[in-house]
Structure 1
Amino acid sequence: MAEFVFENEDLTALKGKVIVIIGGSSGIGLATVELLLLIGASVVNGDVQALEKEMAGAYEFIKTDITKWEELLVLFNKAKETHGRIDHVFANAGISLRADYLST
């Protein structure tokens, strides 16, 4: 199986970058937010729930429901207005249809 290995030094290129994360308040998204802030990136987190703790560094939370196009537009417009640019986007949040596929 192929293996992808990277070193912490490989992430230094993200220092000073503006990164929008959709779904950064828990799980993999939260771990990514914490890592990016540690590196020195500016992070804008769009999620339906705010973090329960304060984040150190250049962090901004914007309440965003990804099922609503207008709220996504607000997220990106505010990020660009605040920082002047957006360098990267991490589309971490997702939605799924709830269906009972096993009933007959």
Structure 2
Amino acid sequence: MRIVLISGASSGIGEATAARFAAAGDRVYNLDVRPPAADAPGVTWRETDVADWAAVAAAVDRAHEEHGRLDVVIANAGISVRHNVLATTWAEARRVVDVNLLGVFGLWQAAARHMVVDGGGVLLGTASVNGHRAFPNYADYNATKAGVAALCRTFALELSPVVRVACVTPGAVLTPMQLAEYSPEMLAEVNARIPAGRHALPSEIAAAFHYLASPEAAFLTGQELVLDGGEIAGSTTSDFGVAVPQGSALS
């Protein structure tokens, strides 16, 4: 049994990832500002705002104190606000950066301080194809996701060979938020621009995290595992971003 901490695991990718690890027999803690819609076996919610480094450190320290180790820590929490660069407010951009980028930094740092002393561990995070291509109306979100990938490489270099660090980089994912916001016509339009012809399922992203945390990935560090259905390879990412209708959500 591994001790696994996942931020933003009350819905979407985080929820699916928590369920995947719990189903494998791991002890999972969900660090999220919101409780999950329903209790999940093997998953414990602990209210935590990842933008608050002191609160994050307290949650991490508590889990370590209870179990004596931390095996896998996944920085998944993220938010986005659709707005163009001229309309973005300081408060909106600040919150996106605090959650999406500094939230990853703070969680990884708090966990790594224990992992280095304990002699091992795996740090994982959720990046995005937004960090590789410009999606209009998501400037702050795009920048934070590029920053997550840069953090991944830097943490890997500084903490190797004791701690491994990697990111999953999704494209469009069929989360409950997207299902609530998309009409069938909107989904079809987006799917038409993905070479694979569809969105990823949250469970597919969860499977990628589960692999990265496994012994089979022991030689993988400082890298992104891209699951985008061919968006980047097909050079469709920027076109896809322009075509997404107002109010839609990205991974």
Q: Calculate the TM-score normalised by the size of structure 2.
A: 0.32
How many aligned residue pairs are there?
Answer: 87
1:88 equivalent to 2:55? Answer: no
Within 1, Cα distance between the matches of 2:60 and 2:17? 18
Within 2, Cα distance between the matches of 1:30 and 1:60? 11
Matches within 5 A, 1:47-86: 47-57=32-42, 59-86=43-70
Within 1, Cα distance between the matches of 2:81 and 2:51? 12
Within 1, Cα distance between the matches of 2:52 and 2:82? 18
Say which SS state the counterpart of residue 89 (structure 1) adopts.
strand
Cα shift at 1:90: 0.6
Cα shift at 1:26: 0.7
AA in 2 matched with 1:101: V
Unaligned residue ranges in structure 1 (runs of 5+): 1-15
- What are the superposed Cα offsets for residues 53-82 of structure 1, whole Å, 9 maximum, x if unpaired? 11112x221111011111111110111122
1:44 equivalent to 2:33? Answer: no
Within 1, Cα distance between the matches of 2:76 and 2:13? 8
Aligned identity (percent) is 38
1:34 to 19, 32, 45: 19
- What are the superposed Cα offsets for residues 26-65 of structure 1, whole Å, 9 maximum, x if unpaired? 10000001111111111011000011211112x2211110
| Residue of structure 2 equivalent to 1:19 | 4
Change (3 A) 1:81 1:98: farther
Change (3 A) 1:87 1:81: same
Determine which structure has the larger helix proportion and give its number: 2
Matches within 5 A, 1:91-102: 91-94=75-78, 100-102=84-86
Q: What is the Cα-based RMSD across aligned positions, in Å? A: 1.9
AA in 2 matched with 1:24: A
Cα shift at 1:95: 5.0
AA in 1 matched with 2:14: G
Within 1, Cα distance between the matches of 2:56 and 2:81? 19
| Residue of structure 2 equivalent to 1:8 | none
Say which SS state the counterpart of residue 82 (structure 1) adopts.
helix
Cα shift at 1:102: 4.0
Give the 4+ runs in structure 1 shifted more than 3 A: 95-100
Say which SS state the counterpart of residue 4 (structure 2) adopts.
strand
